[in-house]
Amino acid sequence: MIAYVTSQGARIEKEGRRLIVHGKDFRHILFAAHLEQLVLFGNVNITAPAMFTLLKEGIDTVFLRADGRYMGRLACPEPANAVLRKRQFSLCDDDAFRIRTGKSIVQAKILNQATVLARIKRARNKPAAAGRLRLYATETERASSCAELRGIEGRAAALYFQHLPLGFIKDWAFTRRVRRPPTDPVNCVLSFLYTMLCNRCYAAIRMAGLDPQPGILHELSYGRDSLPLDLIEEFRAMLADTLTLSLFNLNMLDWDDFRTPPEENQDEYPHEEQSMQKLLADPLGAMSPQLFPDSDSPGEAQEPEHPPRPQKRAILLASGAMKTVISAFSKKLETTFFHPLAEKNMTYSEAVIHQARQLRRVIDGSAETYTPLMLR
């Protein structure tokens, strides 16, 4: 179970074997035995007994700013397997291992992006660049260093984000990936979802008994957790990008759900279960013709209700909209699908853990190659 606390001024206390979240007008019970991760946004207070419980139970506790920017996490005990960690660090100098495994990671990321663009082309009749992305994926086979792999990844990402705007029904002033800070609604949601997804990957890496700092594709760097950045790559398009398309195309987010500092918008965003069900049923985001019957054809987008509003300053999610995105992300993680490698049904949350354990098997030598999860 993953718990998110977004109410400003909330307080977390220990009561027996339970954690109680007290808010202005609510009281919520969390059972520590069932809690995998606790994500706190902004001004949330934790009593010392509650913090001791989180540490004792090894619950990954993440602290984010109210706008979703990562700040830190509780430092739980290091993985007990020192031999495995020693092998992890030694593999940082094994170029053959890093290139072989890095190719799998980059190919999966690019091919998953190509699948998203191919769906956009089929459903929206837009000239997406899926074929060119697949050429980038084959180009990784000739790479002779991780730096070269990252260069191919970067060029593929630029091409992907150049064509991703074709997947949106309305114009959201999104033309390219802008991170620090995001200056349009789509980049804002992408950054927020990437942050939450990276936290899930970090937790999965820890659950697999691995050290998060020594990476494979990403270089070992002072103070950076590189291994979660490797694991997240195959899941970006699969979970965050498709969910972003759904949130906007199903009208679960609008311009009023975003703000520019220091303005605040405290209005609660209305939650509609029917829209949430549609969101989960269509991972590309209202790309099926039956979901927008007012269009003249499946490949013709509806006209925007008003002209786009270009943003030059940082743009942030309003508090109510943030809860909508968190709820959608949580439901997406709990969606069940058939994992072709594990040959069984599992949730996306379980799949992240499964892939982390796959990384462990490759690192400890019990498996020769890493097989990422591919979007179908």
- Cis peptide, bond prior to residue 181, ω within 30 of zero: yes
3-state secondary structure 110-125: HHHHHHHHHHHHHHHC
| Cα R_g (the chain), whole angstroms | 21
Q: Count CA atoms within 13 Å of residue 177 on its CB side.
A: 16
Position of tokens 């949130």?
A: 247
Using CA atoms, how far residue 58 sits from 78, 164, 226, in Å, is 10, 39, 21
**Ramachandran region of residue 97, left (φ > 0), alpha (ψ -120 to 50) or beta?**
alpha
pTM of the model: 0.77
Instruction: Give the contacts of 313 (CB within 8 A, at least 6 positions apart).
Output: 181, 183, 260, 261
pLDDT of residue 246: 92
Write phi, then psi, for 112 (nearest 5 degrees): -65, -40
pLDDT of residue 262: 64
What b/e string do you get for 141-155 counting C-beta neighbours within 10 Å, with b at 16 or more? eebeebebbbebbee
pLDDT of residue 23: 82
Look up residue 158 and give its two tokens: 């630029």
pLDDT of residue 275: 53
Write phi, then psi, for 131 (nearest 5 degrees): -60, -40
User: Which of 120, 356, 67 is CA-nearest to residue 237?
Assistant: 120
Neighbours of 174 (CB within 10 A): 25
User: Which of 93, 5, 100 is CA-nearest to residue 54?
Assistant: 5
What b/e string do you get for 242-265 counting C-beta neighbours within 10 Å, with b at 16 or more? bbbbbbbbbebbeeebbbeeeeee
pLDDT of residue 286: 46
d(CA 338, CA 343): 7
pLDDT in tens, the chain (376 residues): 788 888 888 888 888 888 888 888 888 888 888 888 888 888 888 899 988 888 888 888 888 877 677 788 787 666 667 888 889 889 888 999 999 999 999 999 999 999 999 988 887 777 778 889 999 999 999 999 999 999 999 999 999 999 999 999 898 888 888 887 888 899 999 999 999 899 889 888 988 888 888 989 888 777 788 999 999 999 999 999 999 999 999 989 888 888 887 644 433 334 444 555 555 555 554 444 443 333 333 333 333 444 444 446 778 888 888 889 989 998 998 889 888 888 889 989 889 999 999 999 999 888 889 999 888 7
d(CA 37, CA 328): 17
Residue 188 and residue 261 in contact, taking contact as beta carbons nearer than 8 Å: no
User: Which of 102, 137, 108 is CA-nearest to residue 216?
Assistant: 102
